[in-house]
Structure 1
Amino acid sequence: MATAASVVVLAACTLVLVSSAPARLAGEGVLDGTASGGLETWSAESDRGRVELRRKWVYGNSVVDISRADAGGDWSLVLARLRDPQRFFTVGRIYRMEVYVRDLAASGARIGMLLADHRYAQRPTGASVYADFSDRQWHRLSRTFVVTSPGGPGTGFYLALPPGAGLHWQVTRASVRQVDAPAPARVSRRADTVVAFDGPAGSPPDARQWTHEVGGHGWGNDELQSYTEQPENSVLDGAGHLVITARRERTVGPDGVVRAYSSARLTTKDRVTVPARSYVEAEILAPVGTGVWPAFWLAGADIDRIGWPAAGELDVLEAIGAQPTVAHSAVHLASAADPLRDQPYGWNEPGGTIDLGAPLDQRSHRFGVYFDSRTVRFYVDRRERMALWADDARISGRTWPFGKPQYLLLNVAIGGGDPTATTFPRSMRVGPISVWHGGVPF
């Protein structure tokens, strides 16, 4: 369980344009993504100062040259018109947007790619890509997404320019088109594997499947608890559930440090692994309260050999108790240039944060994830909430470790807020964890 970042950052990769693209390909949504026919379908706006658009030729390619004097201000944008955006987008279908960009000032300032009108409304998807570069090379921005809302008459290909200082960028080959992106297969059978919590009330979870990770060193998140293997913190309820309980009590961790909270963190590492091309699902009643931080997640089985985040992490459910109705999902990936650098797809991704309408401790939900070498999909109550693709991750300078086995983790941490006003104990109830190999069962 790791804190999710809110911005996608692309690593630098040199791209050379070698040929001119046609003004509009078959099935292409952008009317003239290279401005080869002129700038009639391109426009720019700013709250202060003028954004200049010019058409130039670079290596035989038509590009849009974007410049602005240092006039201050909070926002600037460039918009390329789309072909009939109200009919072009179909809710539920998969599309890809992309563009080639270069920062001629090598400023390290951030540019964004998304779909919206000039008021940042009429958005068929919340997906976006933000990137910053400290070189003058061409870079490809790309993002695959599922359409969640109809397009509006003003929906366009939107470039969010860096605010404030002067800028000089060039862009070309702006594109939006429907694609046949990888998706999970459907399977119609019972789960291949069930990690059950059978046993009499008060008994520990099956030691052939689960071990306790004990300690209190913060686990990378400034957590306040000591994890124990005591039955007061993790036990079976006799009705097929595991109950993990966080308590406010004086606890001495293995490091000898006295802490004010105790809880439990359980893992199937070296006991039960989930192969790629699997769907994993558990029904969970999650605790709430400021400072309470429950999670159900997976990590790469080769973590001891290659480390985190290179092994990958899938946060199926993560909840910050101060937001009692909200569930989060996230993916943690390593930078291709630095296996110790975390470059997550976080909570601000479309579907990465879901308000379920009622406190998570009042109604249980089924939280699930499918993962393979090409895609990851998160589900709540068997409804897909967030989808990510390996191609986008690799283009953005990330690795993609989800073609390999993962193991399971469950915990209730204390952190992410001040827990002093929260009433304890707080418990997470977890039902059997079911695994389907080869696809999703719905």
Structure 2
Amino acid sequence: MARPTGVLVDAYSTGNFLPAAFDRLGVDVVHLRSTPELMPSMLPPARASYRDFLVYDTEESTVQELSKLSPRFVVAGQEPGVPLADRLSEALRLRTNGSAKSAARRDKHEMIETVRAAGLATADQVLTSDAETALRWATERGHWPCVAKPISSASTDGVFVCRDQDDLRHAFDSIIGSADIFDIVNQQVLVQSYLDGTEYIVDTVSADGHAYVCGVWRYDKRLLPNGKPIYNRDILVDADDPVHGPLIAYTREVLDALGVHNGPAHSEVIVGPDGPVVVEVGARLNGNMHPAFHDLCLGHDQAALTALAYVDTERFLSAYGDRVCQRRQPALVFNTPTELCGQVVSVDEDVVQRIRQLPSVVDLTVKRKPGDLIVPTRDLLTSPIRVFLTAPDEEALERDYQLIDGMRESVYGVRS
């Protein structure tokens, strides 16, 4: 008897963990690419993980082709696939977030406007292609510093904290006309009031509007030599932390406002003096999701939970619906910065092995290989190494983090 089938749209990056999660529940998956060619800036989907590999043509022809498979679900594997997955799941009458608010789940300007319309706290903002309009807005409203960024990118790609007019003009010069991480050319810039406070990640998986909070992480940021803050560590927050209650309650309201009723979500929220304020929400898996690592520190992973929510919804709702995870042990993800600049000529495997052998290290990703260019870190995309660490106590975790921080610049040999 043939196994049931589901469809994953644009399963780049951590979307690669979804096929195995569905396979364990007895479901095959077909991959649907929303673009004629693969997006070059992200880890591509692994063809061997899929029963078939399809490319979107027209809405009508794609619906007809997928109907022949009698799919159990259509799920976005990464952010570019969100609008198409919404439309197709709706057209095929499957579990869906619907297409009515698809734009609000991808366009960061519309996202914030939708959350504000629901009566929730948000940043002030303006969307424009004209730097002078943005300068007047920031000056008249007293929004210095402010934040400038593309409207639909990710991984802090193209995000600038602007402290004066020169900074904001530079941000416009850098963003307008450039391609974002999803290969979309930026024609406008979103400028927002700067949110002062501590930034958190709230990862969820939902079924029929019942969200399970499967991880809360606090961003630890580091100042670069140029004064720009970058994301340094994601630190797993214990459920006993006082921030948990208001942060999670607010995030649930944001998910409702954006119509994220099914599937995974990765929400970034800043908690300041006046409470939580959303930065943005991605209706997809956390980009730092790692099943073996998350199983150790949380007892589950977002990909497996997503598969369960779609394949055995009753079991998901019974075990997880509307609940909040408990941390099993301290954990962090270290996205290492670098000041190296040039062509990578070697990777010191002895240093890599020394890092791997540290007691708290679960895994690490060496992102550059000989022949690649390496540049001083300015965002998550230019961080050259990612390390997953978890240990029974905070002291052991901090000790290994400090050791890695001392070794990180020795991993790559670089010719300038």
- Same fold (TM > 0.5): no
Q: TM-score, normalised by structure 2?
A: 0.22
Higher CA-based Rg: 1
Higher relative contact order (CA 8 A, sep 6+): 1
Q: TM-score, normalised by structure 1?
A: 0.21
